Structure formats: structure tokens, C-alpha cells
Amino acid sequence: MTGIIDTIQNSINELIGNSITILPGLISALIIVALTRYGAEFTHNLAKKVADKTIKSTSLRLLFLKATYIITWIVGIVIASIIAFPGLRLGDIIATLGLGSVAVGFAFQDIFKNFLAGILILLEEPFVIQDQIQVDDHEGTVENINIRTTEIKTYQGEKILIPNSTVFTSAIKIKTAFPSRRTDLMVGVDYNTSLPQAKAILEQIINTIGGVTHEPAPEVDLVAFNDSSIDLVVRYWTDSRQADVRRIQTKAIAAIKQAFDNEDIVIPYPIRTVYHFNQEKFNDYLPPAQS
């Protein structure tokens, strides 16, 4: 019994001795991790100053800042690990990361997929911050491209976070890719309307609305014989941002309605012709009348 007690005491003493031996290293490692946080913020701010002066692309600046921040943390954690465990060599760390990356890859494949997609989006720049885009059913202004998601602010003021992999693999409509874009405004007139007159009025009105560009010039086309009207399309170009498109379209509709009222041009309602007949007279199931 005495031998067992001595063995336990020796084990405890050895454990306490080892703990005391590695305690300074653990404390130093924790201090380095804490300092790494401030170091990452410092390098981020320094990189921002450098990027603002040397990199013109907003997306590349954002990628440079994120990469600087992440690399600073990786360096700090590696140094803390080496100090905490003096016998640990850099080669052992790399080997451990290599073996662990397989398991981590399976567990966090969606995170890595979105991370890599975010890097490719920032490098290729299909769109930039403040562009207005549509991805699937989501439309709005790009506010930020994070490590995992692309942040969009809708026109209603809502925030939508779309996974970067979805953005990278989906068809994207970039509505502000060019300085201006076209609006097609449908207008119907009565069949009794003089079409040259209606076309001339529309051309005159659309050219007087502020915000409509003169290059390319507006156009008015006759497009269809509809059930109750002959349809024309007014095609005009404005600034590509949604607020300008919506504001100028409102002005155009109001001005066209006022001009047509002044010239007694009718924008017709849908018309349906209804015929009434004697159902009993034309009932196929009744026996024929006897002569």
C-alpha cells in the first residue's frame, strides 16, 4: 500500500513540476495572442493607408486589407504555439496543419468554398462596392464583400447576406455596370388616334424631361395592335442608378398623360363585347320542336 501511495505522490509531484515548468510559456503565449489582436488592428490600419495611396480598385483594396489582417493573426498564433510548447518545431506545425486540413476541409467545406469564392470575386471584380446588382430574386446595392457572404442593401432598406459561392456561380445582372441604361415605357392609344401625331407628341415630351440623355437619343416605336389599343413604346436612357430611373419614369408618365389630355388623345380602358342570347332556344339537349 505504501508503494502505491508513493507512486501516486510522485506522479502528482511530477505533474505539478511539469505544470510549473510550462506555465511561463503558457502565460507568454496568452500575452502574445492578446497582443496579436492589437497588432492585427495596427497592420490593418497601416495597410489601409498604403492601399488608399497605391491601389485604385476598391475590391483589391478590400482583399489586401483582409489578407493582411488574417496573416497577422496566423503569425501571432504560430509564435504563441512555439513559445507555449518549446519542443514544437515549425515543421511539426506545418505537418499537423497538413494532416488536419483534410478533416477540417470536410467539416468546413462550405466555409472554405465561400471564402475562396469571395477572394475570386474580389480579384475578378465582376462588380464593386456600391454597384447595384440582381442575384436570383435579390436586388440592391452592394455594401460589402465579406469572407463568407456578399452584403446587399435592398431598395427598401433591408440587408441581405448572399453566400459568396452563390454569387460566384449564379448569373448576375449588374445594373450600374455602365453609366446609363434604357427604360422602355409602354403607352396605348385609341384606334381612332392619329399615329403620327401621337408619335410626335411622345418624342417631344420625352426630350423635355430632365435627366433623359440625348445620346443615345430617345426613340418611339409602334409595336402592336392590342385588343383595345395600338401600343407604342417610348425608349429613353437615364443614369443607371435605380433612384434616377424610378424618378424620371414618374415624370415621363405624368407628362405624357398631361400632353395626351391636352390633345384629346385617349388612352383606352380594356374593352369587352358581350353578346346575350336565349339559352333555351339554343339548348342542344332539348328535343326538336314538332312541326
Q: What's residue 8's pLDDT? A: 57
Is the peptide bond between 216 and the residue preceding it cis, with omega within 30 degrees of 0?
Answer: yes
CATH of 180-262, one of 3.40.50.10490, 3.40.710.10, 3.30.70.100, 3.40.50.2300: 3.30.70.100
List pLDDT tens digits, range 140-163. Answer: 999 988 878 999 999 999 999 999
pLDDT for the residue 20: 57
Summarised one tens digit per residue, pLDDT across range 29-74 is 778 778 888 888 888 888 878 777 777 767 677 777 777 888 888 7
- 25's torsion region: left (phi>0), alpha (psi -120 to 50) or beta? alpha
Give the tens place of pLDDT for each residue, 258-272.
999 999 998 888 767
Question: What pLDDT score was predicted for residue 81?
Answer: 73
pTM of the full predicted structure?
Answer: 0.65
The chain-wide mean pLDDT, for the chain, equals: 81
Top-tier CATH class for 127-174: mainly beta
Q: Do domains 127-174 and 180-262 have the same CATH topology?
A: no
Q: What is the predicted pLDDT for the residue at 141?
A: 95
Distance CA(218)–CA(274), nearest Å, equals 40
- Among candidates 202, 211, 189, 195, which has minimal Cα distance to 265? 189
Residue 94's pLDDT band (boundaries 50, 70, 90)? low
Q: What is the DSSP string of 163-229?
A: EHHHHHHS-EEETTSSSEEEEEEEEEE-TTS-HHHHHHHHHHHHHTSTT--SSSPPEEEEEEE-SS-
Confidence of residue 244 (pLDDT cuts 50, 70, 90): very high
pLDDT of residue 198: 94
Q: Return the DSSP state at 230.
A: E
Q: How far apart are the first and last CA of the chain?
A: 130
- Residue 135, pLDDT above cutoff 90: yes
Helices and strands (DSSP H and E) totals, the chain: 7, 8
The domains of the chain are located at: 12-107, 127-174, 180-262
Q: Does the pLDDT value for residue 14 go beyond 60?
A: no
Q: Report the candidate in 71, 85, 61 with the shortest Cα–Cα distance to residue 36.
A: 71
Give the cell for residue 29.
Answer: 503565449
Name the residue type at position 120. L
Which residue did the predictor score with more confidence, 276 or 104?
276
